[in-house]
A = this chain, B = another copy of it.
């Protein structure tokens, strides 16, 4: 489910023009470009959360996690955001596939203490994966609602 949902998002993001990315998903709500950066940063944060190593783009949090859309004026170019999306998800998938044993997934994630994990052992790595898959689905449902130029427009890339 994680892989197929990420793949679906990748197809949507690949197809975005600058104009598409600048559209809000609804009047006054997040722009598609913000959600692209937001999802990239949230997936990047999964790397240390799952105990799999260091993040690739910790600098993205200010623009895409700690602050809402439009709070930070200068966002990275769309092409950079698209390649970060690919890189972060590719790297994360390789790391997650190094060890897919049920017992690994049942271990605590790094933002819960050992004591709290004893109280609630469902606060494990698998819960992070399930939660983030649903978080991605939630925003995908929004991204498909954003106005798009008709497909086949000359400068679509």
Contact = CB atoms under 8 A, between A and B. Distances in A.
Contacts of A145: 25-26, 29, 142, 145
Interface in A1-45: 1, 5, 25-26, 29
B137 A134 contact: yes
A135 B141 CA distance: 9
Copies in the complex: 2
A133 to B, nearest CB: 6
Contacts of A138: 137-138, 140-141
Contacts of A130: 1, 130, 133
A139 B137 CA distance: 8
A3 to B, nearest CB: 11
Contact of A137 (B29, B127, B137): B137
Interface in A134-153: 134-135, 137-142, 145
A131 interface: yes
A34 to B, nearest CB: 14
Contacts of A142: 141-142, 145
Highest count of chain B CB atoms <10 Å: which of A5, A130, A135, A137 = A137
Interface in A83-142: 127, 130-131, 133-135, 137-142
Nearest first, the 5 closest Cβ-Cβ pairs linking A and B are A138-B141, A141-B141, A26-B145, A134-B137, A137-B137
Given A26-B145, A138-B138, 19 more contacts: A1-B127, A1-B130, A1-B131, A1-B134, A25-B26, A26-B26, A130-B133, A134-B134, A134-B137, A137-B138, A137-B141, A138-B140, A138-B141, A139-B141, A140-B141, A141-B141, A141-B142, A142-B142, A145-B145
